[in-house]
Amino acid sequence: MNRPADIPERLLMGPGPSNVAPSVLEALSRPTIGHLDPAFLVIMDQVQEMLRSVFNTDNPFTIAVSGTGSAAMEAAVDNLVEPGDRVIVGVNGVFGTRLVDMAGRAGAEVEALEFDWGTPIPIEAVEEALKRKPADLVMLVHGETSTGVMQPVEGVGALCHEHGALVLLDCVTSLGGAPVLLDTWEVDVCYSGAQKCLSVPPGVSPLTFSDRAVEKLESRKQKVPSWYLDMSMIRNYWGENRAYHHTAPINMIYALHEGLRLILEEGLEKRWARHLRHAEALWAGLEAIGWEPFVGQEYRLPPLTTVRPPAGLDEKEFRGRLLEEHDIEIGGGLGPLAGQVVRVGLMGASSTPESLLRFLSATEALSGAPEGAAVDAAEHLLAQEGV
């Protein structure tokens, strides 16, 4: 205990966190200054502007919440939901279920649109629910981390607004790794986490409110139940007034600033294409040795792949050996998928040909597959033009 912590080098290929670029780690180590220091306020402004670019939105109220993605999730729900509000939630995995729980705790009348895990929520189901009974808010998970489903969103915002409802979108596992077009999709509230496709350590989380959402916040009849996550006060710190609310995580904001800078330097479309290309190579490699994708290709989330191991392969033992013998971390299944699937992430700085080929080579060795079968299939796909 009198020595510095011994931290191993890992290749992080689970559902998060992802590996962090050296320049982001360096940003964390820069001198801590005050959260009202003029130099820090400039950094905050730049973070807001870069977040708007990554979210593809012009929303003035775009900030980084002091906390992990779950804090941003709770902030989104608690600030928009009042007791008695009617909320529709698409549920096809763990995080849709979590939104139901949070909305219920906030006092909402919740209708859960339940669909099979591994499938998206049909827009027709949302439309039918809105026609049955008006709602104040519709919540959907864009990238369902428990299953690897990417929810189609186009058209949902316009539909909900026609029926007088706001739209909340969970982009924790998609932001920075798949197209997120908030203004085009007419999304009102969106949040994410730093530790996935943004490749920043966990602890700070993007959140954005449209003007409609801000109006809803300003017209609340009751106070936001969480003081710490009350955006009606926090927006005064991130806005022109710079009114003190709580001490911001200074060095985490530095890290987020650098992570966002790297994303925009690469270019969003190039980054999305990189994630998709490496995901397709991963899918080809795994299928070549008998691993079965859990989600149909049309709805797969490129940054996170959920697959069933071949019959007879114990997924928990496989993951343990992968970590112990190869220093590679992947995730197991959640909820009803526990013990049935593994979740393999290729997010941000972890989404490289070297990472996926190292994982596939280790998977061949640990699963008894023919040597080179998975790697060859992935390399063949990577070599193709236009994939």
- Could you give the percent of the chain with pLDDT greater than 90? 97
Residue 2 confidence (pLDDT) = 85
Which amino acid is present at 315? E
Instruction: Tell me which of 1.10.1370.30, 3.30.70.3270, 3.30.70.940, 3.90.1150.10 is the CATH number of domain 267-383.
Output: 3.90.1150.10
Residue at 97: amino acid letter:
T
User: What pLDDT, on the 0 to 100 scale, is given for residue 387?
Assistant: 57
**What pLDDT, in 10s, does the model give residues 193-234?**
999 999 999 999 999 999 999 999 999 999 999 999 999 999
Looking at the chain, which residues constitute the CATH 3.40.640.10 domain(s)? 20-265
At 386, is the pLDDT very low, low, confident or very high (cuts 50, 70, 90)?
A: low
**Domain boundaries for CATH 3.90.1150.10 within the chain:** 267-383
**Has residue 103 got a pLDDT over 80?**
yes
User: For the structural domain made of 20-265, what CATH number should be given?
Assistant: 3.40.640.10
Q: What is the pLDDT of residues 139-181, one digit of tens each?
A: 999 999 999 999 999 999 999 999 999 999 999 999 999 999 9
According to DSSP H, which parts of the chain are helical? 22-28, 38-55, 69-80, 94-105, 123-132, 156-162, 182-185, 211-218, 231-238, 250-266, 268-288, 315-326, 353-367, 373-383
The pLDDT tens digits of the residues spanning 283-325 come to 999 999 999 999 999 999 999 999 999 999 999 999 999 999 9
pLDDT, mean of residues 245-255:
97
Question: Cα 203 to the chain's mean position, in Å?
Answer: 13
Cα 305-343-334 angle, rounded to 5 deg: 125
